Amino acid sequence: MNKADLIAHLAEAAGINKTQANAALDAFTDAITKTLKKGDSVTLVGFGTFSVSKRAARTGRNPQTGETIKIKAKKVARFKPGKGLSEKI
């Protein structure tokens, strides 16, 4: 499912038009993004938790040349499914 499919499904399920569904989805993703940027987590009971995790710096290998390279530390978004979602899958 891509974003357009999700918007169409939301519009049909909620009885709203696609423009309103798109605005709602954009507001949802913006809220999660802003919260994760602050370093906080977003918990949706029964669905899951979005959080930020730190990935340590490490060494890697360029597959074309075999040369060893340094990979910088960075923050990554994580999603841990909740019990309700896990049971439905």
The predicted-structure confidence for 22-77, as pLDDT tens digits, reads as follows 999 999 999 999 999 999 999 999 999 999 999 999 999 999 999 999 999 999 99
Three-state secondary structure call for residue 68: strand
Query: What one-character-per-residue DSSP string does 41-65 give?
Result: -EEETTTEEEEEEEE--EEEE-TTT
What CATH architecture does domain 41-89 belong to?
Answer: Irregular (4.10)
Tokens 């918007």 locate to 7
Helix (H) or strand (E) holding 5: helix 3-14
Where residue 3 falls among pLDDT bands split at 50, 70, 90? very high
The CA-based angle 78-84-89, given to 5 degrees, is 80
